Chain A
Amino acid sequence: MQFATTTSPHVHLGNSVGRVMRRVVYALLPGLLALVWIFGPGVLVQAAIAVSTALAAEALMLTLRGKPLGRFLGDCSALVTALLLAIALPPLAPWWITVLGTGFAIIIAKHLYGGLGYNPFNPAMIGYVVLLTSFPREMSSWAAPLTLHGSTPDLATTLALVFGERSAETLDAVTSATVLDLLRTQIGLGHSVTEVRSSPVFGLLGARGWEWVNLAFLAGGLWMCRQRTAAWQIPAGMLGALAVISTLFWLVDAARFAPPWFHLFSGAAIFGAFFIATDPVSASTTPRGRLIYGAGIGVLTWVIRSVGGFPDGVAFAVLLMNIAAPTIDQYTRPRVFGARA
């Protein structure tokens, strides 16, 4: 009898890229539901647009690059990119924004760099930043949270806003500025943090409504770390550094700088820490390196939020640290077994 001679190991524990990516999707579900509950079905509409665009773009690029479609579409990596971008976009953003951002993310930020595993930057964040810098007006009008208006736009309104004509009146009725936006403009006008925080858009911890979304993302993220789908060092480093630096400055001047819990529970801090920064391809890979990488994102996020030109800084912070990841890896190699310390 003749047998196949493959090399050891002969067993595999069954992990796959698809499984890793699907776990990320599962971990996103609580946050996604919270977003729907607080902001209406907009995010689902955006997700649908993004996912279809991403799969189409992925299929196109795979065909052009002569890669097997089934195997690579089945890895769900495009799905994850699309969902992450859809969550980051304003729920009522016009459809072409989403299509443009997703297409850019998949075609340019991912495949032109070599496809899965080769992209130096987080594709979703590249797409987001391209949109943010190109269309700041569309990108800054967020749907108002449920708790502010007492209701969220229904599906028909959402679809009309996303796909149809966008009049200023209808838009104003359902959107509001984000807290980070408000905070930076008001402080720019000379108001103190305490004054600004008395605005109704602020909640107990961060922005009204966002607190729940962030808690849901936190739950999903913790589960993902527990599953070892995401490296715990990155969110720990990022949130830890963000907390430390914001506490320091808040203690120094509470009138000018927002308190740490505000930073942690506003904007994309938690979502970014668990879902964006942990993208393995573009992040640091060594244990110590991941802590440093996360901490770098945390510090940069605070710096951009507090003194930079954009309301939130997670996307930029992640991209900046993507650049540093190979260098961090180089200098944080773990001690090899048996080597002297």
Chain B
Amino acid sequence: MSVLNTITRLWRFHGGLHVPEHKAESNSAAIEALPLPAQLVLPLQQHIGAAARACVRVGERVHKGDALARADGYISAALHAPTSGTVVAIEPRPVAHPSGIPVLSVVLESDGRDEWGPNSLPTPIEDYLRLDPAYLRERVREAGIVGLGGAAFPTAVKLNAEGAIRVLVLNAAECEPYITCDDRLMRERAHAVIGGLLLMRRALGVKDCIIGIEDNKPEAAAALQAALEQFADDAEDVLLQQIPTLYPSGSEQQLIRVLTGVEIGRSRRPVDSGILCQNVATAAAVHDAVTEGRPLISRVVTVTGSGISTPRNLEVLIGTPLSALIEYCGGYTPRAARLIIGGPMMGLALPGDDLPITKGMNCVLVAGADDVSAPEESMPCIRCGECMNACPANLLPQQMYWHARAREFDKAQQVNLFDCIECGCCAAVCPSHLPLVQYYRFAKTEIWAAEREKKKAEQARARHEFHLYRLEREEAEKAARLQAKKSAAQQRGHEAETPAADPKQAAIAAALARAQAKKAAAKAEATAGESSNELSPEQLEKLAAARARAEAKRLAATQTAGEAANDATAALSPEQLEKLAAARARAEAKKAASAPAQANADAAPALSPEQLEKLAAARARAEAKKAASAPAQANADAAPALSPEQLEKLAAARARAEAKKAASAPAQANADAAPALTPEQLEKLAAARARAEAKKAASAPAQANADAAPALSPEQIEKLTAARVRTEAKKAAQEALAAATAAVAALDADAQEEAPTASPAAEATPAPLTEEQLARLAAARARAEAKKAAQSGKPASSDQEQ
């Protein structure tokens, strides 16, 4: 069933205003072509998105319709020569923009002949309604068509939403006062408007179209109706809907609401609701581009207001100076007080008329002093709520005002500042004459600026901190080396005399080890912090891998220090031991954090197979070192003598550790995606598989990644992720094993050495380690899965991206 059948009524949006229309000044003036100006200025950026890239050189002769600049990027639009002539300059020129910043422009001197080039005009197409949609979109893109309602968003991009659209809305509302260019266009070229609509419908693969036109344009509506009848069957499922005249019903959001009842807020684009909105002038331009091969080189502009002698609707070449339009309309009247591009509600006031017409300009309003509000002294807000009653977005403008005024931008955002469409209704009704919209723009730009500043400051801070860390670390490393040498020498000297070394020495060694561990961790952090701001993903991943290697080395270093301490252990106090253990735990935690980065490094598409292999090898080496060192370390912890109770506790701890290990195995099995097995089966399976995989895992995933690197399909990514999870699991298992071994070794050591003092650290050591490893395993898996989800999600969503 057609969606149109479900549209049985019109909807309302909140607020809105009846602004004096002032359409009569110009709506009876037929569209006239403006005489060819001597010089045209064509800014490369006159649309939303990336600026076009000039493809002509200064001095080059161009024909009418030749491309002057090509679209640079997906969201961009081409630019064509509006007439034949010579490019005399490509330089920054002022444009009609609030910033006043000049924009790179092509300056074209007309030769007065206005001739089309032999190649500039593609062959006209007669039976255009049967064209291939892809070809249609291509032709629209080549023609450089942008939304002519004012926003100037590249039309081809919008037409790429093929398949996602249910309803195409043609915006014929023209709700701003004074403007009549769309009205005239519909009256005079209704056939082109409807033709363009049908073309866009075909490009989008949509059936249902609604034309929304305000009921103050009955002639235009009648012309459209007649054109629809001409198209007969081709124009089936096109609904012409007159809507009440109420500003701002021509705003995309409000028009869609009125016609369909659907509300499209800030968080959703119309496309996401299956609705696409196009302006009537855009439709006519699409028609011309397809049926005549005519790129967008001119548009209809209304010149009106009591400040102009003869209000008119003009067909104007893009790039024509405003002054030429003013001159053609008889010049300014003595009343002229403000020059506005666009309408009086949202238009931009210009200081002078020496600027060029761009694609998005629909009206030049020269307002008399009494047509526009003088910049009046404002009164305090009396909270009357008139602004709220008028707001079409149902906001609380006075609260936004209070917060913006007090510079409480976070609160302004809480009252939905960014939902404001700056339509101007609130300010137009404010009894206190507050420049409300100006306050909102101010707040928005302040918030944007603050966000940019914050980013910059974070980068600077990270750099500075890294610098400090590096200095500290270098000094500490020096000291550590010195100390290690000293204590080793001392150790040798004391060996024969007594097993109990100087307790002070041991304490220092332990402290050094801790310091080193901290610094290394800090360094890793700082490296990550600094690099993440400016580096490409590939570089980041390499860095992460490097960091992982550094960690492994550091661990080995800690180990050396630890061993030094170990020699002196007999004399270590329980507190010192505890601290040592804690330091180690912290280091482990850090390592765990860096591990996924290492895993990610496997998937890095920019790494060559050789690099990958090296990486894997490095990792294997690091792990081997780690595993080797772990038992010794545990020995060091457990070394001081334990009481019988503690021994018992240790035994229990060992039992727990083993249980934990067993528990971690099924997790590994899960990673392999065996969902239907019982826990016992899982355990057995896991043990077997862990052994097998320990051998192959290190090299296999890297290899697979290297092969699959350039273009991964979702399935491949899934497999890869699974492989990565397996690697992770294997590593964790190894660590668990190492820890358990350590615990055993510790017990053995204890059994041999009976000592009077109790050490709580010894008891704490085995269990936390295994638990930590378990946590690490779980975390690694979670991360891997998140990664997988992100990767498999990406290709799907990027299709929808415009």
A-side residues, CB < 8 A to B, are 1-13, 15-17, 19-20, 68, 71-72, 75, 77, 115-118, 228, 231, 280-281, 283, 285-287, 329, 333-339
Contact = CB atoms under 8 A, between A and B. Distances in A.
B393 interface: yes
Interface string B222-266: 000000000000000000000000000000010001000001111
Contacts of A1: 332, 336, 339, 352-353
Nearest to A338: B265
B349 A17 contact: no
Given A9-B428, A10-B372, A337-B257, 14 more contacts: A4-B337, A4-B338, A7-B435, A7-B437, A8-B424, A11-B177, A12-B433, A16-B432, A17-B432, A285-B385, A285-B399, A329-B399, A337-B265, A338-B267
Given A6-B349, A10-B372, A228-B389, A117 B338 contact: no
B345 A11 contact: yes
Contacts of A8: 342, 344-349, 422, 424, 437
Given A8-B346, A10-B372, A11-B371, A337 B14 contact: yes
A117 B382 CA distance: 4
23 contacts: A1-B336, A1-B339, A4-B338, A6-B349, A7-B349, A10-B372, A11-B372, A12-B376, A12-B433, A15-B430, A16-B431, A17-B379, A17-B382, A68-B377, A116-B379, A117-B379, A117-B383, A280-B382, A285-B388, A336-B393, A336-B395, A337-B257, A339-B419
B399 to A, nearest CB: 7
B382 A281 contact: yes
The 5 lowest CB-CB distance pairs between A and B, nearest first, are A338-B265, A9-B424, A117-B380, A12-B373, A337-B393
Interface string B347-367: 111111100000000000001
A33 to B, nearest CB: 27
Contacts of A11: 19-20, 177, 344-345, 371-373, 428
A11 B427 CA distance: 9
B23 to A, nearest CB: 14
Contacts of B399: 285, 329
A334 B396 contact: yes
Given A15-B430, A338-B266, A2 B352 contact: yes
B349 A4 contact: yes
Interface in B598-648: none
Nearest to A334: B394
A3 B373 contact: no
Contact of B253 (A9, A231, A281, A338): A338
Contacts of A116: 379-380, 382
A13 B388 CA distance: 15
Contacts of A334: 14, 388, 394, 396
Contacts of A280: 382-385
B265 A336 contact: yes
Interface in B727-782: none
Given A281-B382, A338-B253, A13 B17 contact: yes
B95 to A, nearest CB: 14
Nearest to A77: B382
B13 A337 contact: yes
A6 B375 contact: yes
A12 B338 contact: no
Nearest to B421: A337
A16 B263 CA distance: 32
Contacts of A10: 338, 340, 344-345, 347, 349, 367, 372-373
Contacts of A281: 382-383
B415 A333 contact: yes
Contact of A3 (B267, B349, B379, B419): B349
Contacts of A115: 380
A318 B513 CA distance: 71
A220 B669 CA distance: 81
Given A20-B431, A116-B379, A337-B419, A2 B351 contact: yes
B105 interface: no
A118 B384 contact: no
Contacts of B388: 285-287, 334
A64 B375 CA distance: 27
Contacts of B396: 285-286, 333-334
Contacts of A338: 253, 263-268, 393, 419
B441 interface: yes
A50 B350 CA distance: 50
A285 B265 contact: no
B335 to A, nearest CB: 12
B20 to A, nearest CB: 8
Interface string B53-89: 0000000000000000000000000000000000000
B386 interface: yes
Contacts of A228: 386, 389
Nearest to A75: B379
Contact of B438 (A7, A15, A16): A7
B346 A15 contact: no
Contact of B263 (A4, A19, A118, A337): A337
Contacts of A283: 383
Contacts of B19: 11, 13
Which of B265, B267, B438 has the largest count of A CB atoms less than 10 A from its CB? Answer: B265
Nearest to B336: A1
Contacts of B376: 12
A19 B19 CA distance: 19
A73 to B, nearest CB: 12
B468 interface: no
A17 B383 CA distance: 11
A7 B429 CA distance: 15
Nearest to A329: B399
- Best-buried of A71, A72, A286, A336 by chain B (most CB within 10 Å): A336
B531 to A, nearest CB: 39
A68 B378 CA distance: 12
B566 interface: no
Contacts of A75: 379
B668 interface: no
Nearest to A115: B380
B699 interface: no
B535 interface: no
A169 B433 CA distance: 54
Contact of B379 (A9, A71, A337): A71
A71 B396 CA distance: 27
A50 to B, nearest CB: 21
Interface in B301-345: 332, 336-340, 342, 344-345
A6 B437 CA distance: 11
A90 B261 CA distance: 55
Contacts of A13: 17, 19, 428-429
Contacts of A72: 379
Contacts of B433: 12, 16
Contacts of B383: 117, 280-281, 283, 285
Contacts of B266: 338
Interface in B435-462: 435, 437-438, 441
A10 B367 CA distance: 9
B416 interface: yes
A231 B383 CA distance: 11
B251 to A, nearest CB: 10
B380 A4 contact: no
Nearest to B432: A17
B304 to A, nearest CB: 13
Nearest to B256: A338
B362 to A, nearest CB: 14
Interface string B164-189: 00000000000001000000000000
B427 A12 contact: yes
B196 interface: no
B431 A15 contact: yes
| Max count, chain B CB within 10 A of own CB: residue among A5, A15, A16, A337 | A337
A7 B352 contact: no
B336 to A, nearest CB: 7
